[in-house]
Structure 1
């Protein structure tokens, strides 16, 4: 269910902080988005993806992070998103967040989520690629940054090319998500 609160009391914010209810919250141009905790299926898929992608990312000098804030540096914590998974270069990390660019962000879709609405922000932050993944079917949409907007990467013979990781991605019956990195093949 979506809800709009025109004013959020400091007591409610403190209660959410105290009990960890704000862990997935985001701020969009000064507007607080209270995001519910992900489902167990969502969390399980996220953890499997991190295990699968980490060696690929490490071979390229990248780091894979779960639930890290992606901050617009000039606006700081008044404008940030928290993708499910981020693949970043170490030089774009601070102690608390990803400062601007990421090579890849992955959003695992949830009912009524705002993943698609985040695309303009990700483009502004120069995120090179965005994956939107449906957790039940593994249906995958890949968006690659072209200048200042995203273009959908169309599969060729059922295979999508991820330029950010230089891998081939394929969804097979089952569902199975296959990622081919040269001679290395990983599936989940």
Structure 2
């Protein structure tokens, strides 16, 4: 084996994800395997509350405009990347019927990552650029420890920061600005 062959990175395959223990979520981003533990309570609460707050009016048409498919932890195969956002949404005008699939190859229109201490770098440094490469139009970064919501919009293949809110504010955040979101419902009380 020559030095070039030794220095070449071994291509990570989906089988590496399948070999992980069931308590880990596997993702492949930029040909690197990441294995993350299941979320702790602050993370799980924020993701669950967002599913209710966004999914109710936009997925289920409950006191809202509807028009979206909102899913918890869908597996996305975006080119060579295999990514599992905390939440993702597809506009029904673009995807009229939710396909019966194990993973999605059509990029969502919106993703939400709930930041935890173990996944912050992965979410911000690796996954956010992968979502941009795939053409995801909107991204939310929710930090349940800092009680913050950051909103981004894709413009010319780059993320544009729209706004950040924190604490217990009531906000209208794109692409779901038709409904007010009460941030206090996302957080455990600060100690």
Q: TM-score, normalised by structure 2?
A: 0.69
Is contact 1:159–1:168 with CA below 8 Å preserved after alignment? no
Deviation at 1:119, TM superposition (A): 1.4
Bigger relative CO (Cα 8 Å, ≥ 6 apart): 2
Count of aligned residue pairs for this structure pair:
160
In structure 2, the CA distance between the partners of 1:15 and 1:129, relative to structure 1 (3 Å rule), is: closer
Question: Is the partner of 1:162 in helix, strand or coil?
Answer: coil
Structure 1 distance, partners of 2:43, 2:170, is 24
Could you tell me which residue of structure 1 aligns to residue 62 of structure 2? Answer: none
Could you tell me which residue of structure 2 aligns to residue 108 of structure 1? Answer: 114
Could you tell me which residue of structure 1 aligns to residue 151 of structure 2? Answer: 142
Could you tell me which residue of structure 2 aligns to residue 53 of structure 1? Answer: 54
Is contact 2:57–2:179 with CA below 8 Å preserved after alignment? no
| Alignment pair present for 1:97 and 2:103 | yes
Is contact 1:128–1:164 with CA below 8 Å preserved after alignment? no
Structure 1 distance, partners of 2:57, 2:17, is 39
In structure 2, the CA distance between the partners of 1:176 and 1:43, relative to structure 1 (3 Å rule), is: closer
Could you tell me which residue of structure 2 aligns to residue 43 of structure 1? Answer: 44
Could you tell me which residue of structure 1 aligns to residue 29 of structure 2? Answer: 28
Deviation at 1:37, TM superposition (A): 1.4
Match of 2:85 among 78, 83, 86: 83
Gaps of 5+ in 2: 1-8, 60-64, 187-191
Structure 2 distance, partners of 1:170, 1:57, is 12
